[in-house]
Amino acid sequence: MKNPLIKRIPRELKSEFGKQLAIFLFFVMVIGAVSGFIISADSMIKSYNDSFGDYAVEDGNFELRDKADSELLRSIEEEGKIKVYENFYKQEETGSFESKLRIYGERKEIDRVDIWEGSMPAAEDEIAIDRLYAENHKLEPGSTIKLDGKELKVCGIAALTDYSALFENPTDLMFDNDLFGVGVMSDAGFNALPDSHLHYIYSWHYNTKPADDAEAKTMSEELIKVIAPKAQLAGFIPEYANQAIVFTGNDMTGDRTSIIVFLYITVAILAFVFSITIDSTITAEAGVIGTLRASGYSRGEILRHYLIVPMMTLTAAAIVGNVLGYTLLEKFMAKAYLDSYSLTTYKVLFSADAFLYTTLVPMAIMLAINVITLMSKLKLSPLRFLRRDLSRRKKKKSFRLNTRIPIMIRFRLRIIFQNLPNYITLIIGSFLANAILLFGMIFEPMLVNYSDTVKENMLASDIYILKTDADTSVKSAEKGQMISLTSEVEGYVKEDIPIYGIKRDSRYLDFDHDTDGLIFSTAYQNKYKLDVGDTVTLHQQYGDKEYKLKVGGFYEYPATLAIFADADKFSELFADEDSMTMIFSDQKLDDIDSRNIAATITENDLTKTSRQLTRSMGSLMTIFLAFGIVMFMLVIYLLAKIIIERNAQSISMTKILGYTDREINGLYIRATTIVALGSIILTIPLANLLLDKVFEIVFRSFPGYFEYSVSPLLLLRAGLLGTGVYIMIALLLIRKVKRIKLAEALKNVE
Amino acid sequence: MFLELNSITKHFGEGESRVEVLRGIDLSVEKGEICVMLGPSGSGKSTLLNIIGGIDSADTGYIAINGEKTADMNEKELTRYRRKHLGYIFQQYNLIPNLNIKENIEVGAYLSDSPLEVDDILKTLGLYEHRHKLPNQLSGGQQQRTAIGRAIVKNPDILLCDEPTGALDYNTSKEILKLIAEINEKYGSTVIMVTHNDAIKNMADRVVKLRDGVIRKNYVNETKIAAADLEW
């Protein structure tokens, strides 16, 4: 015979339909989103990983100041044990809209191109351009684009596998697929473009592929020793350090891990909510359980009975969530990546991991937490259940409260202490929900603020780095010197640091030139937590020499890691280095030969981080916001509801005694209100600290610096939003209290 | 007349399962009387007590206390009625489990503009040394005394007792009954007590016997004895 208790399940589901539906929908939302994310991420990660072989992605590239002759290349190939390919590009400002387009010729043997739509260029005036750049500028096959006065026809929408993230410079903090794009032309078309911005890039494949990044690092260090003495290097970037190639893979893998951890935390919190719910049901049904146990029902049978509802809800949600994950949500999640990265074409693959992570593991978490909670309770003897004596300690003792405190306040305090486990879970849930909600709220204003700060603190509207010294007729322009050294600190990404030699009476930078040490940008100070007097070790980009630089002060420059030195001190310190001339200017310099410009730094370069993050993450923020609110509501409502249900008899008794609804709400709901609002006040600053720490740790893996800054007003707004959400919950709770019947107290509790 | 019940009827359920619980109850109780209601299970005595207490409503008829009719009252007024006039004692005590003994009594005191002194009540009830304990640390008798303390601290006009000794042993039951009689004497509260125990009628001023929702007997007890002398 089937266990007759099973007949209670549909009735239980029916009696708590609203609650079960809310939990079900929440799980569907979380599991669906995570499953959709994992499926799309796994499919794309596979396609991305396969692209290295399928499209012969380079093992690295170096740039030479001048074109190498065949003899030089042969000797590099022989000594470096590599195969070198010309991979020249020309970078032009587009005439059609403000942006830079980097154009390559045909790529047959290395960094081959994947065509999403249209065809590869054949005619001299045809160009295939990157998909994201095309989307951002509403270009499609058949459109035209102006380049250096020449009109080109877009023949194809492409993905260049060495530009899955459109980093203009491999060491930039962030890519920018709006103001920077890549494209390919036929060799004839490429050669027909002017040579003014021609870059001599040589990409290589090792004869024997390195086994991992560590070996790739060793091999690249050996290779640079081969190339550096033979030619004048303008750049050297092995594949593992090239953000344009590796950023996408790192980001997708990192996101995948974060989102899975996030799922587990959510499930664990809800599992605790469930266990508290079940615990409260067991307390309410102690007499029934005692009778069943006394009649011969085993602990296991009772345990299984109380596990059915939460496990059923989760299983149903997992099924629906996974179906949604594979259908609607996969496309939605994929869009977030496709909007950020220039990925090659991909196919949606079945992911066993998605099933494991979104279904089996959450079920295991839910099962484990509930079994542990229930077993500890069900260990009690049937007699204890029959006597409704379920407390662990033999007799629960009362602690004293000062009798001078008015009775209503003491009453409220007792309610809070009585429901401490609920309230602790509520605070933890609220903390997580607030962190998500805050993230959704702060992201965009923070980027705007970052962008504004960057603009306000620019050294000059244009900074030119020249290949060789040159003069300008612009009177306000100011020359200085610059070198780049490399910072390699454990736990942080390896990055190039520009050091500027600034003349004493500079009109662009005002700092103490006589200080003992060098002046570091505030971005540098904040990222590496520097103090005046600290010593920073940097080394040559393509050599072994180390520099120990003393921190003499800081300069308000929040966007970029940079070091400033008095011009004389600069010359003295870096006499052995091949420094470059740089020019600060508050206007565009037209009288400098563009072929002599190694790089320019403008407002657009400094604000690309905020632009790109807004573009790729902006739409996700609404989801974070909605998710945070729903989670906050669910956790608070479920736990507060349990508190009211647990105290239903006392509430009924206070009604009988003559307490008004207002007074009862003042006791039972205000206690929850105090904790809920207290948790908002407490957890929003904590969530802010958490996000600050997370941002700090995350951005250690990126070159440059992104300042986490949230205005107090925004925190206040987050608090007000939480309070608004709580008011809605409180109204539901008030309704619930009002519905408790006076007759509740008359129920036979024995 | 202090408490007046007029033509009270009440039913539960509908159709085939409809049960007429009270079939026209008329009853008058003088101020300061102890009125004991007796009757077998299902006779309607607890339902009648609940209607007097404003916890339940009658289908027809009315209840008046000092001329104030409860049938005309809305929910707020009923709450005020309970707050002002009534003290309730249940078989299962219904103490608030997370408040200590003193606080449980203070919960009653809070409702009155001129409550009795809580510490005096604790002493009278023999609970003073237990005042910081939680209900689950006390015996059944002590818990019931606490419930009595909570009911009387606001000095109610009517003390409604629903099987107050139903869960207690003989000696404790007698103690509780003595206490109720003392309170009636000391504070002049009208006591309406519902019980199964036929012996308790002997301490009553008025005895009401119900069966099948009808008052079968209603008489003034001429041979009232002290609660301490009750035997069963």
Q: Give kind and range of the element (H or E) at residue A323.
A: helix A299-324
The answer to whether residue B139 sits within a structural domain is yes
pLDDT digits (tens, 9 = 90+) for A710-728: 889 999 999 999 999 999 9
Q: Among the listed ranges A49-58, A121-130, A398-407, B174-183, which one has the minimum average pLDDT value?
A: A398-407
392-411 of A, contacting B, C-beta below 8 A: 395-398, 400, 403, 407-408, 410-411
pLDDT digits (tens, 9 = 90+) for A221-268: 899 889 988 888 888 889 988 889 988 888 888 777 777 877 787 777
Let me know: does A631 contact A432? Beta carbons within 8 Å: yes
Helix axes A213-227, A70-80, angle to 10 degrees: 140
With a threshold of 0.90, tell me whether the complex ipTM lies above it. Answer: no
CA angle A577, A581, A587 (to 5 degrees): 155
pLDDT digits (tens, 9 = 90+) for B83-129: 888 898 988 888 888 899 999 999 989 988 888 899 988 998 889 99
pLDDT of residue A74: 94
- Report the number of distinct structural domains present in chain B: 1
> What is the DSSP code string of A424-450?
HHHHHHHHHHHHHHHHHHHHHHHHHHH
The answer to whether residue B142 sits within a structural domain is yes
The answer to whether residue B181 sits within a structural domain is yes
Q: Where do the domains of chain A lie?
A: 56-248, 421-459+600-750, 471-591
Plot region of A680 (φ>0 → left; ψ -120 to 50 → alpha; else → beta): alpha
pLDDT of residue A2: 67
The answer to whether residue B194 sits within a structural domain is yes
The answer to whether residue B7 sits within a structural domain is no
Let me know: does A170 contact A234? Beta carbons within 8 Å: no
The per-residue pLDDT of chain A, averaged, comes to 86
For residue A173, pLDDT beyond 70: no
pLDDT digits (tens, 9 = 90+) for B121-137: 899 888 999 999 989 88
CA-CA distance, A532 to A209, in Å (whole number)? 45
Q: Do B110 and A407 touch (CB under 8 A)?
A: yes
pLDDT digits (tens, 9 = 90+) for A445-493: 888 888 888 888 888 888 888 877 888 888 889 999 999 898 989 888 8
Q: Do A660 and B76 touch (CB under 8 A)?
A: yes
Q: How far is A674 from chain B (nearest CA, A)?
A: 18
CATH, residue B139: 3.40.50.300
For residue B69, pLDDT beyond 70: yes
Q: Who among B88, B99, B136 is closest to A396 (CB)? A: B136
Q: Extract the tokens encoding A227.
A: 């190339």
Q: Extract the tokens encoding A435.
A: 């962190």
Provide the CATH topology of domain A471-591: Barwin-like endoglucanases (2.40.40)
The answer to whether residue B189 sits within a structural domain is yes
Specify the pTM.
0.72
Residues in a beta bridge with A484: A498
- Residue A492 contacts B where some CB pair is shorter than 8 Å: no
Q: Do A658 and B84 touch (CB under 8 A)?
A: yes
The answer to whether residue B158 sits within a structural domain is yes
Q: What is the mean pLDDT of residues B60-81?
A: 86
Q: Extract the tokens encoding B161.
A: 């007792």
Count of beta carbons in the 10 Å neighbourhood of residue B59: 12
Nearest CA in chain B to A416: B98
Q: Which is higher by pLDDT, A4 or A80? A: A80
pLDDT of residue A378: 87
Q: Do A658 and B103 touch (CB under 8 A)?
A: no
pLDDT digits (tens, 9 = 90+) for A235-246: 888 998 888 998
pLDDT digits (tens, 9 = 90+) for A517-546: 999 999 999 999 999 999 999 988 777 789
Q: Do A398 and B90 touch (CB under 8 A)?
A: no
pLDDT digits (tens, 9 = 90+) for A629-644: 888 888 888 888 888 8
What is the band of B142 on the pLDDT scale with cuts at 50, 70, 90?
A: very high
pLDDT digits (tens, 9 = 90+) for A389-444: 777 655 566 788 888 899 999 999 998 888 888 888 888 888 888 888 888 888 88
Q: Residues of A with CB below 8 A from B134's CB?
A: 395-398
- Residue B205 belongs to what domain range? 32-60+74-229
